[in-house]
């Protein structure tokens, strides 16, 4: 399966300015060890249809070989993956700047930040 071959994966909202900045920061800190995929990309849609449920667009997701963690539940596994020496370099870590929403306001920053804290989900694969 193509999805399992590209793990670990961070699935993020690639139509939101703040989410793209978050993804770029994660990609920089992880030194390209994590596959970065946008929710609205072709591969992102495949992941949403195959693995995730109707809450997929509500939060960012971290997907590894065992489970998909969304929102608050994804923070610790993401940190562990960044610090892990076992994680290999990803070939799919390019992030396209395609912001289509008005996310640069203070209200948007507050709403997106609070959604990270309030949303949490774990799906076993």
Distance CA(58)–CA(85), nearest Å, equals 30
| Interior/surface letters 55-72, b for 16+ CB within 10 angstroms, e for the rest | ebeebbbbbbeeebbbbe
Count Cα neighbours of 21 within 13 Å in the Cβ-side half-sphere.
Answer: 8
| The pair of three-digit structure tokens given for residue 39, joined into one six-digit string | 């929710």
| The pair of three-digit structure tokens given for residue 75, joined into one six-digit string | 């923070």
pTM for this predicted structure? 0.81
**pLDDT tens, per residue, the chain with 125 residues:** 577 788 899 999 888 888 888 889 999 998 888 989 999 999 999 999 999 988 888 889 999 989 999 989 999 999 999 988 776 665 555 565 555 556 667 777 777 777 777 888 888 88
Of 31, 21, 19, residue with least CA distance to 71: 19
Of 14, 13, 16, residue with least CA distance to 103: 16
Burial of 11 (0-12, 13-18, 19+ CB in 10 A): buried
């Amino acid at each position: 399966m193509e999805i399992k071959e590209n793990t670990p994966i961070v699935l993020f909202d690639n139509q939101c300015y703040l989410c793209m900045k978050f993804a770029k920061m994660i990609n920089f800190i992880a030194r390209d060890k994590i596959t970065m995929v946008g929710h609205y990309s072709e591969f992102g849609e495949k992941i949403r249809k195959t693995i995730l449920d109707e809450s997929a667009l509500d939060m960012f997701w971290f997907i590894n070989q065992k489970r998909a963690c969304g929102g608050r539940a994804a923070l610790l596994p993401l940190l562990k993956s960044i610090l892990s020496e076992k994680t290999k370099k990803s070939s799919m870590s390019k992030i396209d700047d395609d912001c289509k929403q008005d996310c640069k306001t203070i209200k948007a920053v507050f709403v997106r930040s609070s959604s990270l804290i309030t949303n949490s989900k774990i799906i076993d694969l």
